[in-house]
Structure 1
C-alpha cells in the first residue's frame, strides 16, 4: 500500500444501518409513495411533465410512446425504460385508473392481463383531465428542483386542480411500509371538499355523507360497509368487493349467472380459468358451462347452470371460492412534507385544500407582479403619448438608444424599464386609436391589480376561488358512481339511505316478484284507454298484490315448513309492465321444495309489534299451528324451520293475525270448520301444531284456510268440476277447533270434490286454471250469494274430462280491460251463473254437522 493511501476502520454494523436507512428513505421518498398534495409518485409526475414538455396535449396529434419514454428518461428519470413505460401504460388503462391521465392509441393491454404492445408501436398524448393537473405550472405556483444531472429544472409537485390522491388512489411497496389507496368518485370528492371548506370542524362521519365509499373503475359491488367506515376513519380497512351478477333465463328451463362487472384489479382470464378448474374438481357444483362473451360493448361472463341447480347457492359458492369476491386492503400512507404519514379521509382533504390554497396564493402573487410590471410600462407609454412631439424630438437628437433612454429618464422622471419601452415603441402606437387602447388597458389593469390584492388580503375569497375551480372540474369531468354499495344483512345503516316510500309488491302465480313505485299505479277515470299490465309468462298471471313500504319485511313460507326473509327494498325493482324476477332465484330454496305463502310484516325488530302479532299455519292433514311473530324475528340467509311438518304432510297456508281473528278450514270432501283463533294456543317455532279439523276419511285432505276479521267478507268455494258459490260467513256457526266441520258445498259426482276456499269481496277477481291449461278470469261480484249447503253454479264449462287445477283470488286491475278466454277449440268460454244447477235444499246429515271432541 502506498504512503498516500489510508484505510479508515469503521463499524460494519453502523455502516450497514446507515446505508440501509439511506436506501430505504430513497425508495420511500423518491419511488414508492405518492405525495399527499397531487397524489403522484415521481415517475408519474415526470411522465406528465415530460409530455407537457413535448407538447402532446389532448388537442394535439399523438406521439410515439418510445419518444415520450426516451424524453422522460433522458431528462428526468434515470431508471429503466420499463419503469417509465409501465407507469405511462397504467395511466392510460381505464380499468386501472378511475380517471385515466394518458390517452393511449394502440394496444395498451387488457383486463385479462394481456401485455401492452412495445412502446415503439403505441402512441400517446395527455388526457384533457391531466391538463388540469399541470394548469398554472408556469405561474410559479410550485417549487422546482434540479434534475439528476443538474442540467434542467423539474417540479417537485404539480399544482393540480384535481384531488388526485382521492380520485385515482395509489399503490406501492416501499421498504418497511406500503401504501394501497382506493379510487373515489370525483363528484363525491368535490362535494366533500366543498363541505370541508364551508365547515372546517366537519368530522369524518360528516364527510361520509358526501363521499359514500370508494368508486372503482371496474364498477362491481362494495359488499358491506364496516370496512369502508374503518378505512375512512383510521386510514386502514378492508373493503370487500363482489362482482355484479344477474340471473338470466337463456333458454326454456335453462338459467345462467351473468357477470357484467368484476372486482378491481382482478385478472378476468385467470379468474375464469381457476373457476373452470374448481368446477372440474367438483368443488363448485351446478355449473354446466362457463364462457366469456365479453366484447367491445362490455363484459359478459356466462355461468350456465344445470337444470336442478339453485342459482343463489351457486353464486354464493362462486363468491366464496373464486375472485368474484375479493377484498381491497386500504392502507392510506402518503408523503406529507417528505415524511410518510398514515391519513384518514379528512386528513387527505385537509392537505389537498392547503396545497390548493398555497397554489392560489402563489399564482395570485405571480399575476399581481406581472400586472404591476405591465402597468408600470403602460404608465411610461402614456406619459410618452401625452408628450409625443417632445419625445420624438428628443429621440431624434440622440446619437444612440442608450443616450435616448438617459434623456427620457432625465426629462420625464422615468425608470429604466419605462424608457426602454418608449424607445422600442412601434410607430403604429402613435395613432390616436392605439393611445386610447393604452389608456383602456391601463384602467383595466388597475382594476385587476385591486382585485388581486383583495384576493391576497382575504382568505375567504381564496377559499371561494378554490371551490369555484373545483365546481368547474366537477361539472366538466364528474360522472356517476360506478361501484354500487350493498349493505350486508347485519348492517342496518342502509335503512338510513333508503326512503321508506310506499311501493306495490306483485307476485305472479308462477312466482315472479317485483317492486314498483306506488305512483305507477295511478288512478284512471272511467272511459280511459287503460294501461299495460304486468308482463307475465304464458299461462302465468298476477296472483298477489299488496301495498307495502321499503322498510317492511316479506316472510316467505314453503311447503316443507321453512321460512325465509326478504326486506321489501331487496325485492328487485321493476316497472308496472315488467314480469319481475323468479323468487326461487332470490332465496336459497331447495330443489324439491316450493313456495306456498307470503306475509307482509311491518317490522320484525319492534318488540311491541312482534309480541302482539301471530302467524297461523295449516297443513294438508288438518294440523293448525299458532306462533308469535317474535319467533321469526331473527333472519338467517338459509331460512329457518317455521313448523315441523310430519311425514306425508305439507304446509298449505300461513296468515298474519292479531290474536282475535276467526279461522276457517275446508276439506276436499266439502266440509268446513269455523273457530276463533283463541282456541289455538301459541307454541314454539319447531312445534308441529295441533288438530284444526278432523279428517273422517283417510283419503280426505285440507284444501285451504282463510282468516276472517269480520262478517263483511264472503266465503267462496270451488269444486273440481267447475262449480262454485259465494256464501255469508255468518252461515257457518262458530265451533271448537278439531271438529269434523259442517257442509260448505254439496259435493256430488257432478260437482266433483272441493279444491279451494277463499275469502272474497265484490272488489276481487277470480282466476281459475284447468289441468289442460285453460284459464278464465271473472269478477266475484258476478256471483250472487247463496246458501251454505247448496252445490253452487257452474263457473266454467269443462270439456273432454278436464278438471280445475287451481283457483286464485287476484287483484282487479281497473286499468286493464277484461280479456276473452278461449277453450281448446278456440271458442269463447262463457261463465254460467244461472241457478239451473243450484240446489237450495237444506243441510242434510245433521250428524255430520256436529263437532267431535277437541283433540291435540
Structure 2
C-alpha cells in the first residue's frame, strides 16, 4: 500500500474528473461541432448503415449499439441526446430523422426507446462523409476492443448552424444556431479573404436563426458575442395585433416551454401581476403556433404586451459563450475564429482524403499498366499460362518476361476471358488514361492550397443548394431599452384620498358609480379617530405634488401610492414619501408638463403667492421648500396657470373674493406671499381655485346641501377684500364646507366623516343665486357631516351608470 497526501490525492482526482467532464461529455469539439455522445450515436448509426435512404430502425437497437460499443453511460442519457437531435424545435437542422413521439415544445417527454424509430438525417451523412478515407484519427473505445473516431470529417459547419449547450466543471458553453445559407456565404468569404474581420463576416451572418423563429435584437451585447465570444441576445416571440381585442402569439423565444408559458401567464393574471387579460387559449396545431390572449379593449393591448414582455418568457435573454474544444483544450472563440478552425479542418480533411484517393488511384494505375502490357502480347501470355504446371510458375514467367510486379501478374492471372475482346482492351486503355488524369488532379490538390480552398467553396455551394432555407428569425437592429414602470402599469382614472392623520390610498374611480341626488352613498372607511381631509381625482400616471405643514412640496407618481379598495384604510404617508419628523401632508395637487406655467398658491390663513412652476418640474425626489408658512398656517390649494386668470377664494363664513392673478406679482419660492382675502377672527379659507368662463361655482355645506352659482353673480375686486356672500347658512345647511369649479358634464365625489361616499352628476344640481342655501345632495345621519368634495371632469371615466346602495 502506497501512502499519499490526501490533499494531493483529492486535487488530482478532482482535476481528472473535471477534465473528463470537459473533454468527454459536455463541451463540443471545434472540428465537427459534436459532443462525444452525439458523435458516437452518429458513428454507430453510420456503421450499422442506418442512412436516410434505409428503413427506420428501433431506437433501442441504436442506443444498445452506442452504449455497448462506444459510450459506457446510462441508456437514458444517450436516448435523451438522440431524441434532441431529432427535435425540429431544438435543432435548426436536425441530425436524426425520427419516427414516433420524440417530445414536443410543450415539454412532453419522448416515448420509450422501444416504441420510437430513427435513421440518420441526410445532412448527418455530410458530417460522416469520407470517414472511411483515413480523414480523421481513430482511438480505442472504452474497453480497447474497437476503434472509434476522435472526431468526424464534418463537411457541414454544424457548430455554427445548430449551436451547442453544455455545463462542465467550472465552465459552460452556450452557442446559438444560425442560418446555413448565411454561414456558408460567410465561410466562402473567409476562404477567399483569410484576413476577414468579424465585422466583414457579419455582412453575411445577420444574427441567430432559431428553429422556432421569433425576433432577435441586434444589440451591442450581441455584437460583443460575435467579436469576443461572450455576450447575449434578447429574443422575443412574434405577435400579431391584427385581430380585435386579441394578442396572437405566433412564436416563442428559443427554448421556452409553451405549456408552462401559458400556465405562467394564467397564474400572473390570477395574482394581478399582469392586468387587462380576460382569457388565454392555446390554439396551436400542425400548421403552427397560435396562442390567443384576449384583452379587455384594444387600447390596453400595448400595455398588456409590455407586461407580457416584462413578466413572462415572451421576451428572454440568452447568454452566449462560444466555448469549444480545440485539440482537447477549452477555448472561447469569436466568429472569425470558429470559421477559421472550420476552414483549417476542412483543408486537413481534403489533404488526407486526397492522399487516400491518390494511393488507391496509383494502385489502380499500377494494375491497369500491367493489364495493358499483357493485352498487348495476349497470345504470348496465353501460351505462357497454358504451358505452366501451376499458377506460381505462370506468375514467375509473366513477371520475368513482361517485367511485371507480383500484383500485376496476379491481376493478369485473375483476368476473365471476356476481357480479351477488343472492346475490353480499349476500355483498359481508356481507364488507364482516366486514372492517370485523376492522379494528376489529386497531386495538384495536395500540392496547392488554393485548389483546396476552391474545393471547400464548391462543397459549400452543394451544401447550400441541398439544405439551405430561408431565415426564420427576424432581426431588429436596435438597442432594446429598459421599460419604464409606466409601460407596465395600466393608466386608469383614480382617486387619491388623504386623511387628517396623513394616511394615503389610491382607489380606482370605477368603484364610485354615479348615483341620484340625495342618495345614501357607499362606505369609504378610514381609521378610528381619523377623518378624510381631501381627495384628488387623477390618472394613475399623473405626477402628484404633496404639500406639507412646513411649506415643503414632495412629488411622486400616482401609481406609487398603494392602490387599495375603497373599503380599506390608507397607508401612512411616511412609508410612501420622504417626510421629516413631525411633518404632515396637508394638500395634494396634480402636476403639469408645462415648464412655463405659474403656480398660484393659496394658504389657509388667506395668503396668495405666484411662483414659477418649473421649480417643481426640476425638483429632487426628497422635496423642495416652496413657501414660508406661519406656524398655524398651511397650503390650501395650488393651481397651474398658463396666463392671467380669475382666482376664487372662499372662507368658512360663506364669503367669496374674486380677483385677477395680475394683482399678485411673481416671487421666488422663499416668500410667504400677499393677502388674498381679509379674514376676521376664527375665519379661514376653505377653498381656492382658478375659474374658467364655462364653469360655475359649486358650494356644499357640511349637512349635505349644495348649489351651483354663476360667476357673473360675483364682482371682480382687488385682492385683500372681505368678499361677498356665496352661501346662506341656516340650521338646515350648517356651515359651508367646500366650494369648487364645475362644468355641466362633470361629476363630483362627496365623502362624509362617517365614511360614506357618493358620486353625483353636476347637471343634476340646481343653479341658484348666491344668497340661497341649496338642495339636498346626500342623505346624512344625524351624527354625520360632509368631509371632502372632489371634481371628476368630463371625459374622466364617466360610467353613466346608476348604482343603488
- Could you tell me the TM-score, scaled by structure 2's length? 0.60
* Match of residue 161 from structure 2: 167
Contact 1:92 1:103 in 2 (8 A): yes
5 Å-filtered alignment, 1:656-735, equals none
Contact 1:65 1:123 in 2 (8 A): yes
* Match of residue 138 from structure 1: 132
2:425, 2:281 → 1: CA distance? 76
Q: Residues 419 and 202 of structure 1: is their aligned pair in 2 closer, same or farther, counting only changes over 3 Å?
A: same
* Match of residue 335 from structure 1: 325
Are residue 429 (structure 1) and residue 429 (structure 2) matched?
no
What is the DSSP-based 3-state SS (H/G/I as helix, E as strand, rest coil) of the residue aligned with 2:250? strand
Contact 1:260 1:298 in 2 (8 A): yes
1:437, 1:229 → 2: CA distance? 60
Are residue 465 (structure 1) and residue 455 (structure 2) matched?
yes
345-354 vs 301-310, which deviates more?
301-310
CA offset at residue 487 of structure 1? 3.0
5 Å-filtered alignment, 1:278-427, equals 278-307=268-297, 309-427=299-417
1:332, 1:169 → 2: CA distance? 9
2:351, 2:392 → 1: CA distance? 38
Q: Residues 689 and 641 of structure 1: is their aligned pair in 2 closer, same or farther, counting only changes over 3 Å?
A: closer
CA offset at residue 53 of structure 1? 1.3
2:94, 2:592 → 1: CA distance? 52
* Match of residue 110 from structure 1: 104
* Match of residue 446 from structure 1: 436
Contact 1:310 1:589 in 2 (8 A): no
Q: Residues 398 and 475 of structure 1: is their aligned pair in 2 closer, same or farther, counting only changes over 3 Å?
A: same
Counterpart pick for 1:47 among 41, 46, 52 = 41
Contact 2:592 2:640 in 1 (8 A): no
Counterpart pick for 2:119 among 118, 125, 131 = 125
Q: Residues 133 and 486 of structure 1: is their aligned pair in 2 closer, same or farther, counting only changes over 3 Å?
A: same
2:468, 2:596 → 1: CA distance? 57
2:39, 2:592 → 1: CA distance? 61
Contact 2:163 2:176 in 1 (8 A): yes
Contact 2:28 2:324 in 1 (8 A): yes
Unaligned runs of 5+ in 1: 1-6, 492-587, 592-639, 648-687, 695-856
CA offset at residue 223 of structure 1? 2.6
* Match of residue 201 from structure 1: 195
Q: Residues 490 and 402 of structure 1: is their aligned pair in 2 closer, same or farther, counting only changes over 3 Å?
A: same
Contact 2:358 2:439 in 1 (8 A): yes
1:22, 1:144 → 2: CA distance? 22
1:132-160 C-alpha deviation (Å, 9 max, x unpaired): 10111111111111111222221111111
CA offset at residue 286 of structure 1? 0.5
Q: Residues 224 and 412 of structure 1: is their aligned pair in 2 closer, same or farther, counting only changes over 3 Å?
A: closer
CA offset at residue 642 of structure 1? 7.8
* Match of residue 613 from structure 2: none
Q: Residues 266 and 193 of structure 1: is their aligned pair in 2 closer, same or farther, counting only changes over 3 Å?
A: same
Counterpart pick for 2:20 among 26, 50, 72 = 26
Are residue 85 (structure 1) and residue 79 (structure 2) matched?
yes
CA offset at residue 307 of structure 1? 2.3
Are residue 180 (structure 1) and residue 170 (structure 2) matched?
no
* Match of residue 148 from structure 2: 154
1:257, 1:275 → 2: CA distance? 13
CA offset at residue 462 of structure 1? 0.5
What is the DSSP-based 3-state SS (H/G/I as helix, E as strand, rest coil) of the residue aligned with 1:262? coil
* Match of residue 488 from structure 1: 478
1:643, 1:488 → 2: CA distance? 31
* Match of residue 723 from structure 1: none
Contact 2:97 2:121 in 1 (8 A): yes
What is the DSSP-based 3-state SS (H/G/I as helix, E as strand, rest coil) of the residue aligned with 2:273? coil
278-287 vs 206-215, which deviates more?
206-215
Are residue 98 (structure 1) and residue 88 (structure 2) matched?
no
Counterpart pick for 1:63 among 57, 65, 77 = 57
Counterpart pick for 2:238 among 211, 235, 244 = 244
What is the DSSP-based 3-state SS (H/G/I as helix, E as strand, rest coil) of the residue aligned with 1:261? coil
Contact 1:167 1:185 in 2 (8 A): yes
> Which protein, 1 or 2, shows the higher relative CO under an 8 Å CA cutoff with sep ≥ 6?
2
1:29, 1:450 → 2: CA distance? 40
CA offset at residue 488 of structure 1? 3.3
1:689, 1:212 → 2: CA distance? 52
1:247, 1:199 → 2: CA distance? 45
Q: Residues 691 and 171 of structure 1: is their aligned pair in 2 closer, same or farther, counting only changes over 3 Å?
A: closer
CA offset at residue 224 of structure 1? 4.2
Task: Report how many residues are paired.
Answer: 500
- Work out which of the two has the higher radius of gyration on C-alpha atoms and give 1 or 2: 2
1:361, 1:54 → 2: CA distance? 27
CA offset at residue 489 of structure 1? 5.4
CA offset at residue 645 of structure 1? 12
CA offset at residue 646 of structure 1? 10
CA offset at residue 643 of structure 1? 6.0
5 Å-filtered alignment, 1:400-799, equals 400-488=390-478
2:67, 2:479 → 1: CA distance? 52
Counterpart pick for 1:215 among 209, 214, 224 = 209
* Match of residue 8 from structure 2: 14
Unaligned runs of 5+ in 2: 482-538, 543-590, 599-638, 646-805
Are residue 227 (structure 1) and residue 221 (structure 2) matched?
yes
What is the DSSP-based 3-state SS (H/G/I as helix, E as strand, rest coil) of the residue aligned with 1:310? helix
2:592, 2:351 → 1: CA distance? 69
* Match of residue 499 from structure 1: none
452-461 vs 349-358, which deviates more?
452-461
What is the DSSP-based 3-state SS (H/G/I as helix, E as strand, rest coil) of the residue aligned with 2:247? strand
2:358, 2:367 → 1: CA distance? 14
Contact 2:322 2:332 in 1 (8 A): yes
* Match of residue 560 from structure 2: none
Alpha-carbon RMSD across the aligned residues, in angstroms, is 2.5
1:399-455 C-alpha deviation (Å, 9 max, x unpaired): 221221111111111111101101111111111110010001001111111111111
Contact 1:105 1:124 in 2 (8 A): yes
